[in-house]
Chains A and B, each alone.
Chain A
Amino acid sequence: AQKVTQAQTEISVVEKEDVTLDCVYETRDTTYYLFWYKQPPSGELVFLIRRNSFDEQNEISGRYSWNFQKSTSSFNFTITASQVVDSAVYFCALSEPANQAGTALIFGKGTTLSVSS
């Protein structure tokens, strides 16, 4: 069965620290997509990144970077020099190849990141 595990329930850091959020997934398919979403205290869900199973290149976007390792079924997210505005719940999600039933996302339970000044 498909599954996404975010083992870290809560993480607390001080501003300017680097922090890594872990995501481990399970799937039997060879083609799939991984996503990260951010949910700030205001409650909305914000799309951060999409990665397909054939692209293991790491990606960097400003202070954010993502490390995809197919060998360990992990898609970890690192925030460099964290800021208070990074405080949020972060969700990792898995999506599998399209079928006639649609392409819903399978979410992990989320990691709550608290950044203090």
Chain B
Amino acid sequence: NAGVTQTPKFRVLKTGQSMTLLCAQDMNHEYMYWYRQDPGMGLRLIHYSVGEGTTAKGEVPDGYNVSRLKKQNFLLGLESAAPSQTSVYFCASSLSSYSNQPQHFGDGTRLSIL
């Protein structure tokens, strides 16, 4: 009963390094999302995908890129990490475009940029 799995769970990077966060879901969900959570800010949407091969920008997309080559995977990339990207990153998925569907969240990735 995996649901939404994020890897890695923790990572420390140096400024300028690149990395990719992986999100995998086994619920056959069409929609997938990447959020970041910062202290006192709640969760803010970075990018999302409405299906395989599609991506779109959310509220705070700058400095990130995403890809959805397979329906079950949604990758978040940082090409040149900056200290402002230190955050906890959550991936989520939902069954359909109907907004009554709750989003299912992964356990988060804690990322620190030094």
Contact = CB atoms under 8 A, between A and B. Distances in A.
Contacts of A109: 40-42
Contacts of A45: 90, 92, 105, 108
Nearest to B90: A45
A96 B99 contact: yes
B50 A91 contact: no
Main secondary structure of the interface of A (DSSP, over half): loop
Contacts of A52: 100
Q: Which one of B43, B48, B107, B110 has the highest number of Cβ atoms from chain A below 10 Å of its Cβ?
A: B43
Contacts of A9: 40
A103 interface: yes
B97 interface: yes
Interface string B24-61: 00000001010000001111110011100000101000
**Interface size class, chain A:** 20 to 34
**Interface size class, chain B:** 20 to 34
Nearest to A44: B107
Contacts of B106: 44
B57 to A, nearest CB: 10
Given A97-B99, A102-B50, A103-B94, A108 B107 contact: no
Contact of B99 (A4, A95, A108): A95
A47 B92 CA distance: 12
Interface of B: 31, 33, 40-45, 48-50, 56, 58, 88, 90, 92, 94, 96-108, 110
